Amino acid sequence: MKIKELIKQDAGFQYIIDSMDFMSSAGRRCMLNTEFYNNADKLRAEWNRLNLAIQATREFKYKKPYIDLRHCLMCLHDLQGTLASLSNHTALNEVELFEIKNLSQLSQTAKNAIANMGLGDILPIPETTEVFSLLDPDHTGIANFYIYDSYDPRLTPLRRELNALQTSEGDPVRISQLLAEQNEIQNEVCLRLSDQLHPWSKNLITTMEQMAYTDFLLAKADLSIRWELSQPEIGDIIEYKGLVNPRLKERNEKQKLRYQPVDITLHLGVCLITGANMAGKTVLLKSVGTSQIMAQCGMYVPASKAVIRLLEGVVTSIGDDQDEMNGLSSYAAEIIKISDILSTCRSREMLVLIDEPARTTNPVEGKALVQAIIKILNTLNSFTLITTHYSQLGVDCRRLRVKGFVEDLADLPLNPQNINRFIDYSLTEDQSDNVPHEALRIATILQCDSEMIALAQEKLLN
């Protein structure tokens, strides 16, 4: 699976990609075509390249080699089509020859900048000076391309006569004849140059891809520095210390709200999470899923420390999946998705994230379905995180509870505007089979209808 598919499945990962600073469309293409790593050696090698890029970026930030390299990437055009034509022995036109000349010049400038940043070993740019020389017969040293007179001896006298006639508004028939002859010669030159460049096609394709990868790597390095991301380790568990959700953290910082990182460890099997509404359970699921994808796409993760298990993918059932266009209710869409998840996990080792399964159906059947889902996933090779509000499930699995409301966290009156300050989002082991009962308390804090709350409390007491 590639990043271009993953960003469609995970809105949090889409936010990560949208936050990256690419210099070129080629760099973005490289990113979209990057595979989800399943090989530990390849993933560690990518993390190592990223680590070296981060060190070099920090050292050379706003200094000449770094600025030169970014400028080269900003001027980079994605020449996939042009290079495919060259590889297929198709004659190139003047514009395409200019593109290749420009690429050869940019790549050599980038090659020097990369070497000066100490990244030559991990970002090897092929040598293309001969390509530039072929397209710069008059040794101008500039990227502009023109069918120079030196390419064909017939061009000098022809163009001299043509210029004289055009200047003096001479015989239009002769001018037309000379233009046709010039066009024919220029086509011959383009064909000849295309033939001479063909042996360089593979080299140029490699150059293009390395430049695109360089852009992607620098974008990852820049994001890692800006967000203080950390390099994960590969192990047999999934563990995060100080895990944050970048999107929510950024929003809270803008609104000057408190944000609390979370620690969590997952082992093979099912981990059930309970907690009050507004306690961050859904955000936690999304954060774990996005971080797993980031890590296995060769990126660092938003945590102070992380260990990941290499898995074959991430599957989720989070949020309202109602599909009105297909005539599916929330429950129908959700249960189909969960069924697909179970089918996938029977043959593949996955990270499974399910948010409050069967919450939209009647509680008796809903509870039975949750019990069945947990029992099945406990027998499969999956790392599963499930949130629920159902009590007394009677299934054997690990249980964590979000601590939730702690009134001494802040010395302010509790109200809807500052409720965030009174929530402890950390997780605690909880082997009881009960879930917190704070719905009426939250409704009261949110200043909901007092009669509704009073009648509900009376019902609970009877």
Instruction: Tell me which of 22 and 142 has the higher pLDDT.
Output: 22
Residue 324: pLDDT band with limits 50, 70, 90: very low
Residue 335, token pair as written in the block: 């249960």
CB-based contacts of 184, cutoff 8 Å, min separation 6: none
Mean per-residue pLDDT over the chain, rounded: 89
Does the pLDDT at position 323 exceed 60? no
Residues 193 and 410: their CA atoms lie apart, in Å, by 74
Could you read off the pLDDT of 412-430 as tens digits, one per residue? 566 666 666 777 778 888 7
Distance CA 61, CA 389 (A): 49
Asked if 238 and 265 count as a contact pair (C-beta separation under 8 A), the reply is yes
Element (H, E) at 364: helix 363-378
Which residue type occupies 382?
S
87-123 pLDDT, tens per residue?
999 999 999 999 999 999 999 999 999 999 999 999 9
Q: What's the rounded mean pLDDT across residues 140-160? A: 92
Contact 150, 187 (CB under 8 A): no
Q: Inform me whether the pLDDT recorded for 302 exceeds 90.
A: yes
Structure tokens at 458: 């009376």
For 34-91, give the DSSP string.
-B----HHHHHHHHHHHHHHHHHHHHHTTSHHHHHHHHHHHT----HHHHHHHHTTPP
Across 310-323, average pLDDT: 80
* Residue-wise pLDDT tens digits, 245-280: 999 889 888 888 778 899 999 999 999 988 766 668
Nearest one of 246, 258, 188 to 425, comparing CA atoms: 258
Confidence of residue 454 (pLDDT cuts 50, 70, 90): confident
Residue 220's SS3 state is helix
Tens of pLDDT, residues 58-73: 987 778 999 999 999 9
Contact 298, 47 (CB under 8 A): yes
The one-letter amino acid code at 23 reads M
